[in-house]
């Protein structure tokens, strides 16, 4: 008895619980605008569809698009139910909690992906719409101006950025002086081809095949006799803009989070791009026969070359995707950090664990950079996705199966690609699960009391809307009530 009274277990437990950090509520409850007319609901549904389409073009996950549209609709005082896939979305606003009633609208996802400067402007608009009720006309004007925003750099700078992307990716995989020269020459050719191809929307579908044919033919013709390099080493990095590494990883994340339709759609699109590129490599290899090297292979540049490739990759992103110049330091720091974590973790427990560790670091690091520099996390998130380059490995494995008929080696590389993609996706999910974002919810109307009903019937309807279930710093403005007949 004396021992139990001296050591108060319950008291110690209470003290330990008091020292534990408390989780704060991450929701903001807003009053519901139950007097919005049908015209306002139709306009809001069309506006949310337009906003969601641009978010999908900014490479946002389907679940994040749904979350954003729900928050924006709550800021306008109404509910929203969304069905989002990478190729389009349905949005229903208004109605009851069971989803009945309201107004329904649909929007396809058309056009090319947004550049990094467009992604930054779009995320800034979304942040503002979460904080306040922005007029519909102003939102539409901002979205239209963002889509029509001219590229930040000249065509020559854009092509030079593509050259830097090609050299950076190639240097990370195989770094010799002749190989760097080959990367630069082939990257300039593909950059010019993309520059003209983007001006012709009809040619976008055939552009990957044409680029793969030309790159493969040039590698087979000049790589051996001029550069003394293996043609297969030079043929993959110039196709970096077509590599679907982000689509593969996002598709795996969608499947892991239960969005099966969106995940299968992204994976099917990525696989189709890989098949188109492999078809181009096959056609190019049949047009010309490879010429063996005439001299000895050049010596590798050294252990510093992959790190220099990371920096070149970062500068290439800044130029080719029109990133804002003020994010240069943050973007290069994020890329170097990702590479460092991936290298250290791979040395400790293998390449799969390295991919997982780099993926787990990405969401909290992008969020930390967003808070420190006011740079949207997508501007950091997308280039770091490219750094992990599972698409390049996937294209190598598929080309080995189709072109060289190397079933054993190709299947082994393909299995390794699937494992790498799954590791990156799992790491991103773990990293994203460590974050807590505030959500905007709609409160239920305050329960009526007999006294309130009596006063309401005697004095007429109250001019105010339903009371909020929680605090609201800036509640939505309700539409004027309809006049009684």
- Name 55's Cβ contacts closer than 8 Å, sequence gap at least 6: 64, 65, 68, 122, 126
Q: Is the pLDDT of residue 452 over 60?
A: no
Helices 116-131 and 136-147, axial angle in degrees (round to 10)? 170
121-125, 221-225, 329-333, range with the lowest pLDDT: 221-225
pLDDT at 209: 87
Q: How many CB atoms lie within 10 A of CB 366?
A: 23
Residue 441 parent element (H or E): strand 439-442
How far apart are the C-alpha atoms of 175 and 170, rounded to whole Å?
Answer: 7
Domain boundaries, given as residue ranges, for the chain: 30-147, 155-294+303-433
Report CA 362 to chain centroid distance, whole Å.
12
- Compute CA distances 11 → 1, 5, 17, 18, 228, whole Å: 16, 11, 10, 11, 76
What is the sign, positive or negative, of the torsion defined by CA atoms of 73, 110, 85, 439? negative
Query: Where is average pLDDT lowest: 66-80, 252-266, 325-339?
Result: 252-266
**Phi and psi at residue 245, to the nearest 5°:** -65, -45
- Give the pLDDT confidence score for residue 411 in this predicted structure: 65
What are the pLDDT digits (tens) for 363-399? Answer: 888 888 878 877 777 777 778 877 776 555 556 666 5
pLDDT tens for 460-482 read 443 333 333 344 434 433 334 33
Backbone angles phi, psi at 111, to 5 degrees: 95, 170
Q: Specify burial of residue 238 (Cβ count, 10 A radius: 0-12, 13-18, 19+).
A: buried
Q: Is 72 within 8 Å of 441 (Cβ atoms)?
A: no
pLDDT of residue 468: 37
Q: What per-residue confidence (pLDDT) applies to 481?
A: 37
Distance of alpha carbon 368 from alpha carbon 203, whole angstroms: 40
Average pLDDT over residues 206-211: 86
Specify the pLDDT at position 382.
74
Give the mean pLDDT of 318-333.
Answer: 84
365 near 385, Cβ under 8 Å? no
- CA separation for the pair 64, 251 (Å, rounded): 14
**For position 49, what pLDDT does the model report?**
92
Cα separation, 183 vs 215, in Å, equals 10
Confidence at 50, pLDDT banded by 50, 70, 90: very high
At 134-191, the pLDDT tens digits run 899 999 999 999 988 888 888 899 899 999 988 988 888 878 888 888 889 999 999 8
Task: Tell me the per-residue pLDDT of 415-439, one tens digit each, with 9 for 90 and over.
Answer: 767 777 778 778 887 877 766 666 6
pLDDT at 62: 85
- pLDDT at position 139 is 92
Write out pLDDT tens, residues 453-464. 444 433 344 333
E-strand spans in 86-238?
88-93, 103-108
Per-residue burial over 64-96, b = 16 or more CB atoms within 10 Å of its CB, e = otherwise: ebbbbbbbbbbbbbbbbbbebbbebbbbbbbbe
> In whole numbers, what is the pLDDT of the chain averaged over residues?
75
Report pLDDT digits (tens) over 283-312. Answer: 888 887 766 666 666 777 888 888 888 899
């Amino acid at each position: 008895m004396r021992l139990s009274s001296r050591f108060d277990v319950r008291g110690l437990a209470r003290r330990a619980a008091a020292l534990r950090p408390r989780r704060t509520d991450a929701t903001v409850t807003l009053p519901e605008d139950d007097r919005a007319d049908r015209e306002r609901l139709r306009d809001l549904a069309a506006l949310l569809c337009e906003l969601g389409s641009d978010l999908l073009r900014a490479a946002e996950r389907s679940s994040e698009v749904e979350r954003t549209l729900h928050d924006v609709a709550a800021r306008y005082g109404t509910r929203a139910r969304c069905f989002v896939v990478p190729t389009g979305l349905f949005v229903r606003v208004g109605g009851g909690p069971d989803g009945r009633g309201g107004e329904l609208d649909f929007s396809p996802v058309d056009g090319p992906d947004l550049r990094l400067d467009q992604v930054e402007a779009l995320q800034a608009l979304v942040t503002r719409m979460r904080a306040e009720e922005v007029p519909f006309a102003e939102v539409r004007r901002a979205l239209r101006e963002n889509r029509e925003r001219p590229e930040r750099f000249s065509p020559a700078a854009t092509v030079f950025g593509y050259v830097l992307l090609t050299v950076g990716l190639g240097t990370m995989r195989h770094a010799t002086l002749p190989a760097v020269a080959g990367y630069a020459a082939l990257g300039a050719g593909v950059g010019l081809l993309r520059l003209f191809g983007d001006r012709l929307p009809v040619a976008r579908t055939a552009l990957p095949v044409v680029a793969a044919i030309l790159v493969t033919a040039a590698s087979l013709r000049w790589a051996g006799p001029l550069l003394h390099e293996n043609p297969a080493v030079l043929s993959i990095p110039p196709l970096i803009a077509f590599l679907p590494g982000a689509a593969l990883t996002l598709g795996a994340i969608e499947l892991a989070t239960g969005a099966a339709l969106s995940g299968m759609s992204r994976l099917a699109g990525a696989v189709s791009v890989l098949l188109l590129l492999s078809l181009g490599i096959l056609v190019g290899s049949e047009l010309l026969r490879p010429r063996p090297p005439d001299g000895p292979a050049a010596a590798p540049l050294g252990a510093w070359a992959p790190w220099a490739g990371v920096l070149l990759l970062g500068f290439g992103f800044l130029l080719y995707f029109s990133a804002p110049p003020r994010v240069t330091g943050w973007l290069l720091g994020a890329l170097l950090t990702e590479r460092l974590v991936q290298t250290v973790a791979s040395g400790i427990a293998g390449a799969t664990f390295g991919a997982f560790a780099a993926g787990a670091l990405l969401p909290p690091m992008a969020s930390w950079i967003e808070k420190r520099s006011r740079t949207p996390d997508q501007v950091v998130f997308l280039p770091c996705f490219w750094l992990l380059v599972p698409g390049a490995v996937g294209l190598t494995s598929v080309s080995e199966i189709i072109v060289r008929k190397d079933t054993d080696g190709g299947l082994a590389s393909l299995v390794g690609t699937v494992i790498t993609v799954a590791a990156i996706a799992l790491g991103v999910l773990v990293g994203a699960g460590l974050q807590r974002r505030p959500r905007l919810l709609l409160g239920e109307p305050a329960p009526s009391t007999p006294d309130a009903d009596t006063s309401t019937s005697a004095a007429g309807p109250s001019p105010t809307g339903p009371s909020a279930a929680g605090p609201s710093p800036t509640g939505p403005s309700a539409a004027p009530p309809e006049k009684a007949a």
